């Protein structure tokens, strides 16, 4: 039985969770990384179990993630929905992901909400910093064990999951994008390479397209010179709110 990992993971936290779930299942792994800007995976999965993972953006599945994973179809294939959020709330994202997977032809048999370091987290304003940690990874591994047990029992029931329908209204972020400290930027191209929406171009300086940017902050977290930063007033205010209100540790929730 193959374990198919389908994910959108700009900063790597969602990928880490799915990899540890797969370790718990213990079967051969196939990777479908929809994160890169050039990623346009189209396939049908008919064997094993498919695990779908996305980060949570303001309580919803990111539009770009939804657009990319919907091209991966199932044939009543067992599937698992996993969302990863930054220690605030996952709200309707898990139910939304479940619906997207089912619309693509899969049979959702389990779901999970895990915590990853918030995309806005920094050394100055840490929010769920260094998560998923060892405890999160163990929870993911054990979740994989539970999935294997359920499949072995041929139990394909879809559990109830937290979330509302209709989903909460999306919060727009258009007009915001990280900026560059040109005095220390070496034009290495890392930011452009890791951007999942092709929002960054490099000529004689770094140019960011705020209309394409989804504020995943991969460019900030992966810049080797720490030359990328946030300066938008509304985003800085949200970071301050998250820093003040989201320090109490939350734990993974699974539905199986």
3-state SS of the chain is CEEEEEECCCCCHHHHHHHHHHHHHCCEEEEEECCCCCCCCCEEECCCEEEEEEECECCECCHHHHHHHCCEEECCEEEEEEEEECCCCCCCHHHHHHHHHHHCCEEEEEEEEEECCCCCCCCCCCCCCCCCCHHHHHHHHHHHHHHHHHHHCCCCCCCCCCCCCCCCCCCCCCCCCCEECCCCCCCCCHHHHHCCCCCEEECCCEEECCCCCCCCCHHHHHCCCCCEECCCHHHHHHHHHHHHHCCCCCCCEEEC
Which of the four pLDDT bands, split at 50, 70 and 90, describes residue 171? Answer: confident
pLDDT value of position 175:
74
pLDDT tens digits, 105-159: 999 999 999 999 999 999 999 999 999 999 999 999 999 999 999 999 999 999 9
pLDDT value of position 208:
95
Mean pLDDT value of segment 20-49 = 96
CATH match of 179-237 with 3.30.70.20 = yes
Which percentage of the chain shows pLDDT scores above 90? 96
Name the nearest CA neighbour of 132 among 32, 250, 248: 250
Mean pLDDT value of segment 55-68 = 97
Domain residue extents for the chain? 2-167, 179-237
CATH match of 2-167 with 3.40.50.1370 = no
Mean of all residue pLDDT scores within the chain: 96
pLDDT value of position 1:
79
Which percentage of the chain shows pLDDT scores above 70? 99
Name the nearest CA neighbour of 112 among 133, 88, 95, 130: 95
**Parallel/antiparallel/unpaired status of strands 43-45 and 72-74:** parallel
With 80 as the cut, is the pLDDT of residue 173 above it? Answer: no
pTM for this entry: 0.96
């Amino acid at each position: 039985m193959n374990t198919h990992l389908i994910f959108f993971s700009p900063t790597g936290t969602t990928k880490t969770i799915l990899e540890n779930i797969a370790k718990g299942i213990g079967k051969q792994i196939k990777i479908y990384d929809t994160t890169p800007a050039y990623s346009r995976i189209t396939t049908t999965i008919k064997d094993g179990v498919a695990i779908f993972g996305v980060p949570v953006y303001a309580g919803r599945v990111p539009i770009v993630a939804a657009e990319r994973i919907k091209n991966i179809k199932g044939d009543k294939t067992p599937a698992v929905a996993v969302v990863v959020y930054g220690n605030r709330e996952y709200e309707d994202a898990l139910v939304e992901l479940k619906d997207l997977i089912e619309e693509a032809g899969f049979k959702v048999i389990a779901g999970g909400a895990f915590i990853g370091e918030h995309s806005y987290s920094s050394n100055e304003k840490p929010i769920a910093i260094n998560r998923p940690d060892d405890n999160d990874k163990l929870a993911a591994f054990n979740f994989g064990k539970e999935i294997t047990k359920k499949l072995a029992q041929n139990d394909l029931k879809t559990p109830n999951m937290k979330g509302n329908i209709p989903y909460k209204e999306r919060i727009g972020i258009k007009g915001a994008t990280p900026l560059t400290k040109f005095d220390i930027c070496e034009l290495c191209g890392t930011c452009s390479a890791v951007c999942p929406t092709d929002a960054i171009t490099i000529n004689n300086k770094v140019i960011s397209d705020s209309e394409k940017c989804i504020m995943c902050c991969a460019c900030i977290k992966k810049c080797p010179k720490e030359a990328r930063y946030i300066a938008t007033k509304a985003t800085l205010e949200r970071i301050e709110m998250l820093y003040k209100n989201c320090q109490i540790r939350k734990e993974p929730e699974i539905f199986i």
